[in-house]
């Protein structure tokens, strides 16, 4: 080979080494073997940023590698979720989500060259809450406010004998100790009107104790009738339910509600809880029509031993009215989804459910639908008692989970609960088969479901989206026959997601076991 040509060829090969393309050798033979260099990629996610909600955010990473590689962006932190697109390129843009309070969102970029272990880097985007509730008009459109002075026809004020004002009386914005609160005044009585469908009528006539539950052995309404809240439909109601105070609307057991004047303070800008805060009996929130929200418990346990705590939607199935509510003392409330409230809000499953209420921590509660025809899904599941991880050695109710939020901690012995085919008697003397899922201890939070995102909710029964921020969902299941059932934990989880303020309607509870009848 011509010496000049050979020299030129060697020079080109050595230049290629500098570019990471091939090996260089002092051998001037015409045929040479070269070894490729598989360098580990390097990645820099970029500088941290601070933006306002609604701003366009651009993340641009710097990547160095000697060949092909794949890219994946993901959000790894923050109380609000950004809608990421082009997550497989070094640069991506998204709109900063609307936030109720300043929030730090963390994003991770991962680079994989298919040879070496993937490398990653993170960047933080602080999103500023630009709203100023003190300078803006309060949005009262979500509340069902009684602006005409409408009075209940069947629930009378025990002091005046005049009908109680229905729905919400007022909603205002008030500053307390430098913090803004939405202040809601209500007497707790809704103005539900219920169309008696065939299913509702079948439920009334099919009650196991219908012959004694109804004064004449059967309901006095027929399919097609429209029943207003508190109207007599034939029940043998409790002794405090006189003919002029809702008698005949409630089944035996619960008391009849009267006026329950309350003023509820909800933080205009809720903040995440700093420590675990269990919710207990009594009010844990308020519906947009002024009625109270209670949690999952009825205040009772198997044989009153404190273990195997009864779920209200299970044991109180025959203790609620045709709208799924009843009273504790004077306080009318719901433990779970109410089709009557859904009708008022025109929530037919054709879109994301509207706002149903607020929890005591100030976070909103939406209805059961995450999208058209798609239910939000609770990530709490029923224990498999034969599973060594969550079950018991005898595959029966002889142990409870040490921590229902962390199944890796195992189980501990407790007083034996009923067999899964045992018949138990509720506070109102109705009988039920204690199937798996009848008690609080039958459940645990499955973090792997929450990790799926989308329709799956977190341990508090909520999640975040860019339009609504963090919010809870009521949860249901619908079977193939279109039968609706409440899904644990029903409205909000066993703990609050947000911080309870000093003036909140509720407080953290150390003991979910209640005193008994007062917990209805």
Supply 251's token pair.
């089944």
What DSSP letter does each residue of 307-344 carry, written as one string?
SSEEEHHHHTTTTS-TTSEEEETTEEEESS--HHHHHH
Token pair for 507: 């407080």
**Residues found in the chain:** 520
State how beta strands 374-375 and 91-95 pair: unpaired
Cα angle 469, 471, 472 (rounded to 5 degrees) comes to 165
pLDDT tens for each residue of 446-499: 999 999 999 999 999 999 999 999 999 999 999 888 888 999 999 999 999 999
pLDDT value at residue 132: 56
Domain ranges of the chain: 1-37, 42-128, 274-519
CATH class in words for 42-128? mainly beta
Q: Is the pLDDT of residue 30 over 80?
A: no
Task: Give residue 37's pLDDT.
Answer: 64
Residue 408 confidence (pLDDT): 96
- Measured CA to CA, the distance from residue 18 to residue 24 in angstroms comes to 9
- The three state secondary structure string of 403-428 is CCCCHHHCEEECCCCCCCCCEEECCC
* pLDDT single digits (tens) 167-204: 999 999 999 999 999 999 999 999 999 999 999 999 99
Q: State pTM to two decimals.
A: 0.73
Residue 32 above 80 pLDDT?
no
User: What pLDDT shows up at residue 367?
Assistant: 97
Reduced 3-state DSSP string for 62-91: EEECCCCCEEEEEEEECCCCCCCCCCCCCE
> What percent of the chain clears pLDDT 90, i.e. is strictly above it?
72
Residue 271's Cβ-count burial label (10 Å; 0-12, 13-18, 19+) is middle
Residue with tokens 């059967």, as numbered in its chain: 218
């Amino acid at each position: 080979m011509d010496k000049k040509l050979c020299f030129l060829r060697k020079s080109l090969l050595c230049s290629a080494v500098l570019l990471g393309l091939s090996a260089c050798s002092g051998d001037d033979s015409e045929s040479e073997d070269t070894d490729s260099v598989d360098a580990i990629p390097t990645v820099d996610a970029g500088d941290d940023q601070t933006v306002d909600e609604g701003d366009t955010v651009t993340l641009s990473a710097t990547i160095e590698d000697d060949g092909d590689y794949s890219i994946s962006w993901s959000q790894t932190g923050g109380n609000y979720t950004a809608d990421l697109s082009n997550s497989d390129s070094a640069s991506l843009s998204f709109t900063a989500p609307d936030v109720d309070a300043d929030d730090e969102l963390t994003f991770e970029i991962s680079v994989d060259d298919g040879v070496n272990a993937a490398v990653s880097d993170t960047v933080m985007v602080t999103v500023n809450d630009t709203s100023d509730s003190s300078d803006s008009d309060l949005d009262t459109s979500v509340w069902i406010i009684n602006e005409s002075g409408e009075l209940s026809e069947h629930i009378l004020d025990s002091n005046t004998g005049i009908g109680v004002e229905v729905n919400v009386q007022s909603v205002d914005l008030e500053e307390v100790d430098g913090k803004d609160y939405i202040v809601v005044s209500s007497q707790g009585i809704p103005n539900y009107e219920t169309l008696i469908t065939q299913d509702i009528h079948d439920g009334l006539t099919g009650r196991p104790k219908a012959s004694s539950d109804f004064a004449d052995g059967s309901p006095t309404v027929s399919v097609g009738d429209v029943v207003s809240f508190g109207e007599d439909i034939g029940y043998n109601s409790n002794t405090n339910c006189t003919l002029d105070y809702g008698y005949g609307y409630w089944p035996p057991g619960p008391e009849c509600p009267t006026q329950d004047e309350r003023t509820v303070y909800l933080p205009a800008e809720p903040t995440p809880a700093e420590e675990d805060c269990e919710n207990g009996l009594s009010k844990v929130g308020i519906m947009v029509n002024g009625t109270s929200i209670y949690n999952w418990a009825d205040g009772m346990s198997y044989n009153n031993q404190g273990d195997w705590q009864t779920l209200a939607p299970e044991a109180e199935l025959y203790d609620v009215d045709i709208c799924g509510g009843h009273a504790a003392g004077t306080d009318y409330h719901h433990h779970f989804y109410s089709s009557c409230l859904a009708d008022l809000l025109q929530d037919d499953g054709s879109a994301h459910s509207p706002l149903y209420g607020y929890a005591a921590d100030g976070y909103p509660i939406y209805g059961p639908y995450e999208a058209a025809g798609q239910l939000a899904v609770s990530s709490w599941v029923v224990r498999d008692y034969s599973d060594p991880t969550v079950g018991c050695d005898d595959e029966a109710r002889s142990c409870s989970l040490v921590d229902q939020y962390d199944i890796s901690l195992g189980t501990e012995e407790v007083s034996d609960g009923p067999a899964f085919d045992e018949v138990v008697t509720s506070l109102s003397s109705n009988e039920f088969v204690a199937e798996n899922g009848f008690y609080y201890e039958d459940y645990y939070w499955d973090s792997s479901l929450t990790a799926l995102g989308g329709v799956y909710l977190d341990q508090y029964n909520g999640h975040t989206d860019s339009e609504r921020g963090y919010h809870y969902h009521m949860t249901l299941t619908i079977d193939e026959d279109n039968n609706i059932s409440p899904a644990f934990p029903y409205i909000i989880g066993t703990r609050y997601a947000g911080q309870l303020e000093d003036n909140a309607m509720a407080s953290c509870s150390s003991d979910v076991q209640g005193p008994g009848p007062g917990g209805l």
